[in-house]
């Protein structure tokens, strides 16, 4: 679990004043490292297109394994990619990168797109929302049309969360998320 989290990465909201320090949890330290290369598609290790994969019929949970099961939806480890791409279009330049990484036994350093800022000191249970029939698009937008996944909602805006909770009769207890 910790290794997975370590590979997630986490971009830091510049609006939050707290600096990343050596004391930060590993996912934050890693995130700061990756995002220092600059935001945008260039920061992802391979040019992955959500649109192409969804069109090919892949379900969200095929890669985001924890989406309906766990607190975190999770980002796919390299093995998930390789399980298909060992045979599927292995000559594609981006897929070649995957295979090279597989050979070199270096994990993919995905950059997390939807990030809860550290200073918000808030927790999010992905499965709880997915199981409560909150549609993916409500928070993630129309991913099927995105070549590169982008945040459509400013998840740092608490009012957006609270409004949805109240509209749907979900709890509005602070302690449900802030701990």
Partner 1 sequence: MTDSQASLVSTSKADADFSDAGGPLIDHLLRWRPRLATATVFAGLVALLMFVCWGIQIKYGLGVAGINRPVFWGFYIITFVFWIGISHAGTLISAILRVTGAGWRRPVTRCAEAVTVFALCVGGIFPLIHLGRPWVFFYMIPYPNDRMLWPNFRSPLVWDMVAITTYLTGSLLYLSLPLLPDLALVRDRIASQGGLRHKVFSALSLGWRGTPGQWHGLDQGIKILAVAIIPVAISVHTIVSWDFAMTQVPGWKSTIFGPYFVVGAIYSGIAMLLIAMALLRRGLQLSTVLHDRLFNNLGLLFLAMTLLWGYFTFSEHLTTWYAGDLAEQIVHHRLMQGGSLMVLIAMVVVNVVIPLAVLPFRWGRRPLPLALVSCGVVVGMWLERWIIVVPSLSAPRLTFFEGSYSPTWIEIGILIGSAGLFAFLYLLFMQLLPIVSVWEIREGLIEDEHAQAAEDHSLEVAEPSGVPDASVASVVLATVADLRTLQVSAADADAKIVGLRSSAPLPGVTAAQTHRRPVPVLRFALIGALLGGLGAFLLASRSALAYPLPTGGMEIVAGPPVAIVTYEGTALGLILATVFAVVLAVRRDKDVVVSDELASRLATGEILATVEAESPEQLTMAVGR
Partner 2 sequence: MTSWGMAIDTDRCDGCNACVVACNAENNIPTVGAPEARKGRTMHWLRIERSVEGEFPDAKVRFRPVLCQQCDHAPCEPVCPVYATYHNPEGLNAMVYSRCVGTRYCANNCPYSVRTFNWFEPVFVEPLNEQLNPDVSVRTAGVMEKCTFCVQRIQEGKQNAKADGRAVRDGEIQPACAQSCPPKAITFGDFDNPDSAVSRAARSDRAERLLGDLGTQPSVVYLSGPADRAERQSDD
Q: Is 61 exposed, middle or buried (0-12, 13-18, 19+ CB in 10 A)?
A: middle
> What are the backbone angles phi and psi of residue 89, rounded to the nearest 5°?
30, 60
Other Cβ atoms less than 10 A from the Cβ of 135: the count is 9
Residues 105-134 that bind partner 2 (CB under 8 A): 118-123, 125, 127-128, 131
Cβ at position 157, least distance to partner 1 in Å: 6
Cβ at position 121, least distance to partner 2 in Å: 4
Structure tokens at 123: 């927790």
Angle at 85 between CA 80 and CA 88, to 5 degrees: 145
Q: Among 20, 113, 116, 158, which residue interacts with partner 1 (rule: CB under 8 A)?
A: 158
> Residue 22 region, left (φ>0) first, then alpha (ψ -120 to 50), else beta?
alpha
Q: Of partner 1, partner 2, none, which one does residue 149 interact with (CB within 5 to 8 Å by kind)?
A: none
**Interface map 8-47 toward partner 1 (x if CB under 8 A):** ---------x------------------------------
Residues interacting with partner 1, by CB under 8 A?
Answer: 17, 157-159, 162-163, 171-174
């Amino acid at each position: 679990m910790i290794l997975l989290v370590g590979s997630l990465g986490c971009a830091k909201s510049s609006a939050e004043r707290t600096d990343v320090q050596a004391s930060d949890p590993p996912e934050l330290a890693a995130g700061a490292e990756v995002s220092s290369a600059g935001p945008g598609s260039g920061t992802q290790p391979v040019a992955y297109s959500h649109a192409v994969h969804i069109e090919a019929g892949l379900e969200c949970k095929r890669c985001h394994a924890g989406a309906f099961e766990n607190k975190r939806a999770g980002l796919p480890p390299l093995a998930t990619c390789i399980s298909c791409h060992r045979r599927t279009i292995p000559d594609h330049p981006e897929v070649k990168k995957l295979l090279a990484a597989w050979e070199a036994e270096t994990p993919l350093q995905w950059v997390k797109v939807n990030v809860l800022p550290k200073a918000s000191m808030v927790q999010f249970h992905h499965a709880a929302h997915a199981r409560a029939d909150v549609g993916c698009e409500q928070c993630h937008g129309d991913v099927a049309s995105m070549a590169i996944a982008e945040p459509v909602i400013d998840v740092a805006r608490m009012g957006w969360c609270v409004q949805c909770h109240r509209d749907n009769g979900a709890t509005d207890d602070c302690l449900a998320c802030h701990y």
